[in-house]
Amino acid sequence: MMIWATAASILAAAAVVILILYRRQIRKICRHLSFMKEENTNMRLTSDLPFTELNELIDGMNDIVDQSRKIREDVRNNEAHLKETITNLSHDIRTPLTSLDGYFQFLLTSDSEEERQRYIRVIQTRIGSLKDMLEELFTYTRLQDAEYKLETEIMDFGKCVCDTVFSFYDEFQAKGIEPQADFCDGHLYIRGNEEAVRRAVQNLVKNALVHGKGRISLKLYCENERTGFECANDTEHPEEIDMNQVFSRFYRADSARTHSSAGLGLSIAKGLTERMGGTAEASLDGNLFTVRLEFPVDNPALTDHNRGCENYK
């Protein structure tokens, strides 16, 4: 009996010791949690006891702490991006509005009919630029919604690209640019949204016209079961282009922000292309800046339709 009593006493004492250690560990964890809540720290919870259950609990709590830190960091980044967005929008919208106000004052005070007509044309141009900017912002906002979906169907990508590029004929003429076009013959079908494809191609060409210097080359192709459109232009200061940022919102290589654009063109082109299952890539070779939109044609029906371009594969 004495042996059993002694064993029971030892077990009871061990249980008391374990309980005390557990309580001490829990108090330590509580102190650390309180400190981590109040301070911006990378501290992690640790255990002084070799108990599997307790260590699993601490690992789980550390995972929750890490998630909480990431959420807080995301909130801070979103707040910073929101402030940047508001600042950029204020600047971009204020500029054409200020210009409009100035030309309206000229219009009201001018006695020359020729000058008045010139001011009216400038005002109409500024209104068109402001309308395009607001449309860019509206499209960009829609693309930020994860629930937003584009309705797609089998469409003639080649015809859409050709029609869109041809619509810039006057702009090319005004700048004295003869674009180098390498367009394959035949129809090129993809599953896409015609309005979205047209908008993406427009943005690439507009970007080349605004930021390009001299040569502009355009290519329509079908190769390796991919159909694509490529727009390339010479740049005056290629060292100023951050290739990691060219598809980012509000990015402009020219820091002066002198163009009547919200800086969303390439970002929108990439977003629309990806919503249709395609890809958008940019490259810089010397002073030649190239943007490429590609769509898969792995559907047998599309492959048969695109046989007119086999000589370009």
Does residue 165 share a domain with residue 138? no
β-strands 226-234, 153-156 pairing: unpaired
pLDDT at 204 over 70: yes
Q: Which domain holds residue 111?
A: 88-143
Burial of 36 from C-beta contacts in 10 A (0-12 / 13-18 / 19+): middle
pLDDT at 61 over 80: yes
d(CA 303, CA 246): 32
Does residue 278 share a domain with residue 245? yes
pLDDT at 281 over 90: yes
Q: Model confidence at 279, in pLDDT bands (50, 70, 90)? A: very high
The residue-averaged pLDDT of 1-22 equals 76
Does residue 167 share a domain with residue 259? yes
Give the per-residue pLDDT at 255: 47
Does residue 220 share a domain with residue 184? yes
Percent of the chain whose pLDDT exceeds 70: 88
The residue-averaged pLDDT of 99-128 equals 86
d(CA 21, CA 34): 20
Give the per-residue pLDDT at 124: 86
Instruction: Report the predicted TM-score, pTM, of the whole model to 2 decimal places.
Output: 0.64
SS3 per-residue string spanning the chain:
CHHHHHHHHHHHHHHHHHHHHHHHHHHHHHHHHHHHHHCCCCCCCCCCCCCHHHHHHHHHHHHHHHHHHHHHHHHHHHHHHHHHHHHHHHHHHHHHHHHHHHHHHHHHHCCCHHHHHHHHHHHHHHHHHHHHHHHHHHHHHHHCCCCCCCCCEEEEHHHHHHHHHHCCHHHHHHCCCCCEEEECCCCCEEEECHHHHHHHHHHHHHHHHHHCCCCEEEEEEEECCEEEEEEEEECCCHHHCCCCCCCCCCCCCCCCCCCCCCCCHHHHHHHHHHHCCCEEEEEEECCEEEEEEEEECCCHHHHHHHHHHHHHC
Give the per-residue pLDDT at 135: 78
> Number of folded domains in the chain?
3
Residue 47 lies in a domain: no
Residue 242 lies in a domain: yes
The residue-averaged pLDDT of 109-117 equals 87
Q: Of 143, 162, 177, which residue is a domain's last? A: 143
CATH number, domain containing residue 124: 1.10.287
Phi-psi label, residue 214: left if phi above 0, alpha if psi -120 to 50, beta otherwise: left
Higher confidence at residue 214 or residue 208? Answer: 208
CA 186, 188, 193, 197 torsion-angle sign: negative
Give the per-residue pLDDT at 187: 80
Does residue 105 share a domain with residue 216? no
The residue-averaged pLDDT of 94-106 equals 82
pLDDT at 283 over 70: yes
Give the per-residue pLDDT at 165: 92
pLDDT at 86 over 90: no
Does residue 24 share a domain with residue 135? no
The residue-averaged pLDDT of 139-164 equals 86
Residue 173 lies in a domain: yes
Q: Model confidence at 13, in pLDDT bands (50, 70, 90)? A: confident
Q: Model confidence at 185, in pLDDT bands (50, 70, 90)? A: confident
Residue 53 lies in a domain: no
18-48 per-position pLDDT tens digit: 778 878 888 888 888 888 878 777 888 888 8
Does residue 283 share a domain with residue 160? yes
Does residue 160 share a domain with residue 135? no
Does residue 126 share a domain with residue 25? no
Does residue 174 share a domain with residue 133? no
Q: Of 143, 173, 207, which residue is a domain's last? A: 143
Give the per-residue pLDDT at 298: 55
Does residue 221 share a domain with residue 288? yes
pLDDT at 291 over 90: yes
Give the per-residue pLDDT at 311: 38
Residue 72 lies in a domain: no
The residue-averaged pLDDT of 164-180 equals 88
Residue 66 lies in a domain: no
Residue 256 lies in a domain: yes
Give the chain's mean pLDDT: 81
Give the residue from 138, 159, 154 showing the smallest Cα distance to 268.
138
Does residue 281 share a domain with residue 176? yes
**190, 306 in Cβ contact below 8 A?**
no
CA–CA distances in Å: residue 64 to residues 7, 67, 73: 42, 5, 14
pLDDT at 245 over 50: yes
Residue 92 lies in a domain: yes
Give the per-residue pLDDT at 256: 43
Give the per-residue pLDDT at 310: 46
